[in-house]
Structure formats: structure tokens, C-alpha cells
Amino acid sequence: GRTVNVHALVATGVNADGHREILGIDVVSSEDGAGWLAFLRGLVARGLSGVSLVISDCHAGLRDAIASTLPGTSWQRCRAHYARNLATCVPKSAQPWVSTMLRTVFEQPDAASVRAQHRQVVQALEDKYPKAAEHLDEAREDILTFAAYPKTVWRQIWSNNPQERLNKEIRRRTDVVGIFPHRDAIVRLVGAVLAEQHDEWTEGRRYLGLEVLADCRKAAERKAQEDADANVTNSAIAA
């Protein structure tokens, strides 16, 4: 006799052929760590493997769930979501300037320049907005993961915008219904939207070319090795 809000968790991916596909859907009462953990465990149980990079916003518990279920996987924090998070650290009048400064980090020609510009932006913020400078400095590795990959795929992997477009279509279709009688009804409707999108992706051109995918795999292997070496170094320092 009451109405409650629920969340539809949706995962998409790029397969070994370079095509995008729907990986799964679940409906949960809360977007917390437990919900994400159960969702990702379900994907792994159904056969999801070989994941080298996950792109998402910073939902509570999501990053820990990724680390727990997909060990060795890199994580890219969505730049669009992060920009909104960073903007909350400064007065409204300064938000356009801070957003412009952040964009310059992503407009660089190579990985070294990306990291150099990140440092410069942090320094530029320190005097006027130290809280924002600290926020950006702490997020460095999370938002710059994309730079370890070939520049040709940066636009595809530095934000979650492709997923957001799909989410927008899901919202449009579910808003027509308004209130669903039960969980299965949500899964049926949202599942139908996802099935349509899956078929469209399968029949369309590749999202990433095979040569680019091969370069991405090599980049992922290099990054994994660098992360492993860094963990060994940190352990030695701690000891």
C-alpha cells in the first residue's frame, strides 16, 4: 500500500570484437555497496571475465565492489560527474572558471602533458580555493586513468556519457509508466529497452577497432604491471 523508490543497475561493455553490448541489469532498493557487490558478483557468475577497465561515477561502495569482484581491473572516474563534484568545493561564481581549468587537463596531446597540466591546475587553485585544490589532487589517479591508454580511445573512456545516454532513454520509457506494480515489471520494461539497444549495437559498426583494442590490451597490461610494482614499493617502504 505504499510507493518506494528503487534503482536499476545497468552495466554495458565492449567485447573482444569491439562491439558494445549489455552485460546485465538488476533492480535494488538502495545504490549502496551491497547492491553493487551483488550485481557485479552476478555478472561474474554468469561468465563476465577479462575486464581491464571500468568507467563509472563514484557511487558509494561501487569502487570497493569493483576491486572485490574484478581484481586487477583499472577504474576511471567519470570526468563529467567529477566536474560536478569539484564544482561544489567553490562558490557558484567561481564554478565556470574551475570547470574551464579542469577541461584543460583533458585537452592535452599526451599522457605526460595531461599529468603536468593536472599539477598546474592544482597549483592554480591552491591560493584561492585550497579545498578544491586538495579535492583535485586526491582524485588525480582516479580521473587520469584514461591517459595510460592510446589517445584514440580517450574520448570513449574518460567519461560515462555513453551510459548516460542509455540511462536517459530508460528514464524516458519508465516515466511513461510512473509507478510499477512489482520488480518483475521493471525488469521487463527496462530489459526490453536494453534488448533493443543491444541488437542495435550488434548490427552496427564496431565501437572500437580490433587494432585499437589490441593496443588497449597492451596498455592495460603495462598499467597493471606498474600498479603491481608500485604496491611492492609501498609495501617495502611501510615495512
* 74 and 179 together in one domain: yes
Residues constituting the chain: 239
Is residue 48 a part of any domain in this protein? Answer: yes
**Domain annotation covers residue 36:** yes
**Whether the Cβ atoms of residue 57 and residue 232 lie closer than 8 Å to each other:** no
Same-domain check for residues 59 and 170? yes
- CA-closest candidate to residue 72, choices 222, 191, 202, 235: 222
Residues 71 and 14 in one domain: yes
- Alpha-carbon distances of 175 from 80, 171, 179, rounded to whole Å: 24, 6, 8
Residue 145 within a domain: no
DSSP 8-state class, residue 127: T
Q: Are 37 and 49 in contact (CB under 8 A)?
A: no
pLDDT at 232 (0 to 100): 62
Please report whether residue 52 resides in a domain: yes
> Do the beta carbons of residue 82 and residue 136 sit within 8 Å?
no
Residues 59 and 169 in one domain: yes
Domain that includes residue 128, residue range: 79-138
Identify whether 148 is part of a domain.
no
For residues 171 and 184, membership in a common domain is answered with yes
Each residue's pLDDT tens digit in the chain (239 positions)? 788 899 999 999 999 999 999 999 999 987 778 889 999 999 999 999 999 999 998 887 898 999 999 998 999 999 999 999 999 999 999 999 999 999 999 999 999 999 999 999 999 999 899 999 999 999 999 999 999 999 999 999 999 888 888 999 999 999 999 899 999 999 999 999 999 999 999 999 999 999 999 999 888 888 877 776 766 666 566 65
**Residue 208: which of 52, 72, 75 has the closest Cα?**
52
Total number of domains constituting the chain = 2
A 10 A CB-CB count for 142 gives 14
Regarding whether 165 and 112 lie in a shared domain, the answer is: no
- What CATH code is carried by the domain that includes residue 51? 3.30.420
| Whether residue 69 is found in the same domain as residue 20 | yes
Residues 74 and 121 in one domain: no
φ, ψ for residue 27, nearest 5 deg: -120, 125
Q: 3-class SS at 75?
A: strand
Based on the fold, state whether residues 127 and 184 are members of the same structural domain.
no
Rounded to the nearest angstrom, the gap between the alpha carbon of residue 71 and the centroid of all alpha carbons in its chain is 16
What pTM did the predictor assign?
0.86
